[in-house]
Every structure is written in structure tokens, then in C-alpha cells.
Structure 1
Amino acid sequence: MLKRVMMTVAMTAALSGWWTAMAAAQAVGLATTKGGATEQIATALAKTISEKSGVMVRPQVMANTSQYLPLVDSGRVEFGIANFPQTAYAISGTGMSQGQPNPNLRMVASLIPFNAGLLVTAKSGLKTMADLKGKRVPRFPANSLGDFIIRASLQTAGLTYDDVSSVPIANFPAMFEALKDGLTDVTIATAGSQSVLDIDASVGGVTFLSYKPGDEKVLDENLPGTALKTGSQLTNSPGLTPQTAIFCYDYTLFASASASDETVAKVAKALYEGRQSLQASGPIWSEFDPARLAHVTKLAYHPGAIAFYKSVGIWSGQ
């Protein structure tokens, strides 16, 4: 009886300590979209930061990036993720965010190179952007990320929507399903992402269309910070050969300017120390390098992030 009582007391004490720790942990939101590589990134970030910083990160899944940018800008959600072109446009109120500036967004980290391109089924026989002429191509709402990527990619081959058969698409998950279902001939995809693995298994093989030398200029005009990268520079992913050229830009973590310096510094520290955890979450993190968290300084960083990066000697900004 005494032994049972002692076990109950010990269990109660342990549970009490756990609840105390949970109550003490600060909870913050991380805005993300549903499905695809973005949600994968958010899930890995939430797990790693929560485990290593004492800041409990809760993904806030929304329909699209434009829905949550104003929420982070206003401080209603503390953090958000997006690719560099979207983040740059959002702050300035140009491009994808034309007339809707979000001046209170502050960079926290450049996370990983986002390696992406246009993906087709292997059996289609398509190899280059020029091969898309007359094919069924997703058409996203004007000024969305998908719209910018498709238009820029077609432009590299001297094509426009007038040269293809446009298929209205609402979002990225719907785009992935459309290719699987044979409703379109191409999809935007991220090398090494779960969506590519799923499509590959579903359609019996995939191929990334290859850009040609010089296309990075056209891409960068539409998607700031974009460059080309060949399959030889990447870890293995379905659809890539060593010669295949796809595009890349940094994926960013940003915060509201109103987020506390202490919280942002804790998040930056968790990322700096979280390489093993992040890379264990999937191949999309294979190029993650803590030393490059602050390597892009074209956009304003949060003071909390700057303070931490200075403390570990990786800040190169002004």
C-alpha cells in the first residue's frame, strides 16, 4: 500500500512538473500554407524550435501566403515563412503584393536554398520549357506565386499563356493533384519534397524540365533573388539528372517587428543549434547550413536575430 502511495505521489509530482514547464513555455504562431514543401518546412521548424528554445511554436495553417502576411505584419501572428521573392515583394508592396506593403516584417533567417522547377511525367517526353507549347499548363490567380513562376518559366522560352492551354488552378495542392489525375501536363515542384515523391510514385516517374543558360536573368526579373542550379549540385531527387537546370532562391523565416527581441533571439539560437534535427526531418533540409542563416542581408532583420548572429560571429550586415 505504501509503495502504491509513493508511486502515485511520484507520478503526481512528475505530471505537475510537466504541466508547470508547459505553462512556462511561451507559445507563438508560425504562419504557413497547407500542403507541399512550405508545410513541410513549417512542421520541421516548429518541432526543432519548440524542442530547443522553450518557445512553443504552433503552425498556423492558412490558404495562401497573402492571407497571413498582413497578420504577421500587424503582430497578430508572430512568425511566418515564405520564399525570398514573396518576402521581398511583401515588404515593398510591389510584385505579388502590389499596393499592399507590409513594412513591419523583419527577417529572422535565410533557411535553405529552395530548389524548384516545372515537373512533368516521364512518359510525357517533355524536356524543356519550349516543349510546353500547346500543352495544358496550370494558371493561378494573377500575381500569385504560382502565376509568377509559370509566366517567368514560359517567358524563358518566348512563350505566354496564349501559347498554351490554361487550366485554372486555385492552389498548390490542387496543382499537384491535377498532374496526378492527368488534367494538366506540368506542375511546379520542389526538388526532394514529399510532393515530388508522391507524384513520382503516382504517375510512374517524373522529369524536371530544364532551363537553359541565361534564363536566370528572366527569372530574377520576375522572382528577385533567383538563380539556376544543376542536378549535379543537388542531392538525389526524382526527376533530376546531373545536367538538369532548375531554379533556386532562399526560403525565409520572418517575424513581426513587434515580436520581442528575446523571443526572436531564442528562435535564431534554436535554428543555429538545430542542424541535426532539421536535416532528420527530410531531404529538403540537406543544404541547411547554420553559418548561412544571415547570409542574405538585402532585407531588414529583426534586432533580436541580429544580436544573436553577432554573438556567434555570422552577421555580415550593417
Structure 2
Amino acid sequence: MKSTLHRLAFTALGMMLTGAALAQTNTSGLPSTLAWSAYDVGSGGYNQAVAIGNALKQKYGINLRVLPGKNDVSRTLPIREGQVQFSANGVGGSYMAQEGIYEFGAKNWGPQPVRALLLNNSDQILSVIAAKDAGIKTIADMKGKRVAWVIGAPSLNQNITAILAFANLTWNDVKKVEFGGFGAALDGLINNQADVAFTSSISGKAYQLAKSPRGANYPIIAHSDKEGWKRLQALAPFFFPFNGTEGADLSPTQPAESASYPYPVLMTYAKQDPKLVKDMTQAMLATFDEYKSAAPGNVGWALDRQKFGWVIPYHEGAVAVFKEKGVWTAEHESNNNMLIKRQTVLADTWKQVQSRKHADDQAFAKDWMESRAAALTKAGMDPVLKSW
């Protein structure tokens, strides 16, 4: 009897160990270790990447190393240099990198051949957040207030530029306060060094501000103000009107009338191995149920929330997945091909500008922006790209 119990016990233990081993079997096709760059620690993008890493670990035994970056350049550089395979990036490291504008118009950058895998379109907002005690209820109320400027982060700064334009304001109408990173900018609000900063409503820092003595609120960007929206989208065409219901001090019964765009953007470069991209995309979709509730905003990674007509092309490896799932249309293919052609026009023009002599960096930048606009116009493309 005792030996029989021992055998049953060992059999049960063996089954448990086998089950555990099977749970850790890597059937994804992905390497055992992956690396992503992401936004700073405490941001919504970083928290999501960590949650996704946990799901990959549980389902496939894959280790995901998340490299935080303070700005667009520091998040995109590791992809360019091959230090990470993918990035949970923003519009700066995707759209602006593609276009070769702002920091990406510097001589050591230029237009980048970026590609998307998946876009996160959650119920959060990507907009300005204000300390409640600053009394900023609308964008017009930002006049004269202290506004955070993040060094080396063109997406954050240009986003605020566009939002200011909504109310016919510029940086000359506010007090610019410089910070070294996204996290530092939000800390600046908490510490009463600034009154307004750009954020994701689901970032850890937004929650910290809301719980701080200063409190938080989202200045209204009225959806009915059509002229305001024309001014905003002329500078930041990737924005769209949105009622945010997820994030600090937000809920379905307490929404914010504001603006948003996809964030994060899981992206890579065109040169990345199509099989690796396909396997990564499939793994993201296969583990969705495991991570969708593990961090604020993760629901936005769902396949049915993708915007296939956004402003950067999808990688061929990701497109293969979408075609297999029957969600990729001829219209999507046409738009993707147009965006890839646009990148070719930009890259060719950049080479021409680089081949010419310039008196200084300012002359180089002027030549690039003028040549860029002329080349895109000649190719039948709008210099300011708009999504559909």
C-alpha cells in the first residue's frame, strides 16, 4: 500500500513537472531572450512592456528585457544600432523619425525606414495634463502658465506646440520649463516646478500627480471647435478627437474631452528579419488575454483596434499575420505601399542634401526642409502627412 502511494505521488509529481515544463516550452519561434526599448520607467508604455514581458515568460519562457529611454532619440537609437529588436515607441520615434523632422533632421539622423508591428489604440488619451491647482480648464487657460519642454523629445514638444495652436497660442505665450525626460517633466508638475506637461493618461506619473496635493485635470480640447482642430492637425496630423475614459481620474462616467493617437507603437526597422517580426506579432496576439488586464491601456493592443491607415507602414512580417487573419485589405496594401514609397523619396532626397556643402548646421537644416518639401510635392505627396 505504501509503495503504491509512493508511486502515485511520484506519478502526480511527474505530471506536475511535465505540465510546468510544457507551460514554459517556447513554441513561438522567438529567441529565448528579446529586447525592447520603451518610454521611461513609470510611463504607461514601460508598464505595458513589462506586463507583456510577463505574459511571454509565462506562456513561452521568453525573457523580455525592457530598456527605458528618456526621449525619442534614446528610444530609437538602440533599434538603429541593433541593440534591441523592437521598440514600444511614440510618434517621435516613428512618424517624426520617418519624416526626418525636428531632432531627426540632424545630420547624424535623417529620415528612418521605420515599420510598425502593432499600434496600441486604447481608451486613454495622449494630451496635456495640468496640475488642478493651476486653474487650467481649457487650452486657452495655458497662457502665461509654466509648460514642460522635454530636451531631445520632439514628439512631446511638438504635440504641445500643436495643442497650443488649437487656442491660437505659441510657446511665446507660455513659460517654457526644460526637463531632461518624460518622468522628470511629470515630477516637475508634482513638485510645483511646472503647471502643464504632455502625458499618457495611464502613465504612472499621471496617477502620481492625481494623488498629489496639486491634483490633476485634463484641459478641454473641444471637439466642436473645427477651426481649432484644423490648426492642431496642421502641425500634428496624427492626432484625432477622443473622449478618454481610462487613466488617472478618468472613467466611463467621467471622461475627458480631449485628443489622442496610437501609443505605444510597437515598431522596428525595415531591415528586421520578417520571420522574427511575424513571430513577434503572432506572440503579441496569442498572449493578449494574458496581458490585456495586466497594465492600464493594454486592451489597445487588440487586433480589432488596429488602425491600418496610420502614418507609418507596417512591416511585411506583420502584414503576413494580418493577411492570414483576413483583416488586411487592398486599401491597406495601397496605403502601405505609398508610405514605403514616401520613405524612399525622403531617403533619396536626404542623400542629395548630404552631398552638398553647407556653411553651417542651420544652412543644412534649411536645405533639407526645403528639398524635402519639394521632393514630396513633386512625387504627388503632401509634405505634411495625414492619416485616414
Determine the structure 1 residue equivalent to 2:249: 238
SS of the residue corresponding to residue 280 of structure 1 reads coil
Determine the structure 2 residue equivalent to 1:295: 308
Q: Which amino acid counterpart does residue 37 of structure 2 have in structure 1?
A: A
Instruction: Write the distance in 2 (CA, Å) between the matches of 1:26 and 1:143.
Output: 32
Asked if 1:33 corresponds to 2:39, the answer is yes
SS of the residue corresponding to residue 76 of structure 1 reads coil
CA apart distance, 1:191: 1.9
Alpha-carbon distance change, 40 to 118 in structure 1, aligned in 2, over 3 angstroms: same
The residue correspondences of 1:49-64 to structure 2 (distance < 5 A) are: 49-52=56-59, 55-64=62-71
Kept in 2, the 8 Å contact 1:121–1:203? The answer is no
Asked if 1:179 corresponds to 2:186, the answer is no
Instruction: Write the distance in 2 (CA, Å) between the matches of 1:88 and 1:138.
Output: 22
Determine the structure 1 residue equivalent to 2:269: 256
Identical-residue share of aligned pairs (%): 20
Instruction: Write the distance in 2 (CA, Å) between the matches of 1:73 and 1:292.
Output: 28
SS of the residue corresponding to residue 30 of structure 1 reads strand
Which digits, 9 at most, give the CA deviation of each residue in 1:237-284, with x for residues without a partner? Answer: 416775742211112111233332222112111222333223212332
Q: Which has the larger radius of gyration?
A: 2
Kept in 2, the 8 Å contact 1:192–1:238? The answer is no
Which digits, 9 at most, give the CA deviation of each residue in 1:63-104, with x for residues without a partner? Answer: 322123233134332101222454112123124522423534
The 4+ residue runs of structure 1 with deviation greater than 6 A are none
Determine the structure 2 residue equivalent to 1:130: 140
In terms of fraction of residues, the more strand-rich structure is: 1
Kept in 2, the 8 Å contact 1:175–1:187? The answer is yes
SS of the residue corresponding to residue 31 of structure 1 reads strand
Kept in 2, the 8 Å contact 1:118–1:189? The answer is yes
Kept in 1, the 8 Å contact 2:127–2:258? The answer is yes
The residue correspondences of 1:1-318 to structure 2 (distance < 5 A) are: 25-35=31-41, 36-52=43-59, 55-84=62-91, 86-99=93-106, 100-113=109-122, 115-141=125-151, 144-203=154-213, 205-212=215-222, 213-214=225-226, 215-231=228-244, 234-235=245-246, 237-238=248-249, 244-251=256-263, 252-293=265-306, 295-296=308-309, 298-316=311-329, 317-318=332-333
Kept in 1, the 8 Å contact 2:115–2:269? The answer is yes
Instruction: Write the distance in 2 (CA, Å) between the matches of 1:74 and 1:236.
Output: 34
CA-based RMSD of the aligned residues comes to 3.4
SS of the residue corresponding to residue 146 of structure 1 reads helix
Which digits, 9 at most, give the CA deviation of each residue in 1:280-305, with x for residues without a partner? Answer: 12332244432234623542222211
Kept in 1, the 8 Å contact 2:243–2:256? The answer is yes
Kept in 2, the 8 Å contact 1:118–1:187? The answer is yes
Q: Gapped runs of 5+ residues in structure 2?
A: 334-388
Instruction: Write the distance in 1 (CA, Å) between the matches of 2:258 and 2:49.
Output: 23
Give the TM-score taking structure 1 as reference length.
0.83
Q: Which amino acid counterpart does residue 317 of structure 2 have in structure 1?
A: G
Which digits, 9 at most, give the CA deviation of each residue in 1:92-128, with x for residues without a partner? Answer: 3124522423534221111224612222232332201
Alpha-carbon distance change, 271 to 206 in structure 1, aligned in 2, over 3 angstroms: same
Give the TM-score taking structure 2 as reference length.
0.69
Alpha-carbon distance change, 55 to 185 in structure 1, aligned in 2, over 3 angstroms: same
Alpha-carbon distance change, 98 to 257 in structure 1, aligned in 2, over 3 angstroms: same
Instruction: Write the distance in 1 (CA, Å) between the matches of 2:110 and 2:192.
Output: 38
SS of the residue corresponding to residue 197 of structure 1 reads helix
Kept in 1, the 8 Å contact 2:36–2:84? The answer is yes
Instruction: Write the distance in 2 (CA, Å) between the matches of 1:70 and 1:249.
Output: 23
Alpha-carbon distance change, 274 to 239 in structure 1, aligned in 2, over 3 angstroms: same
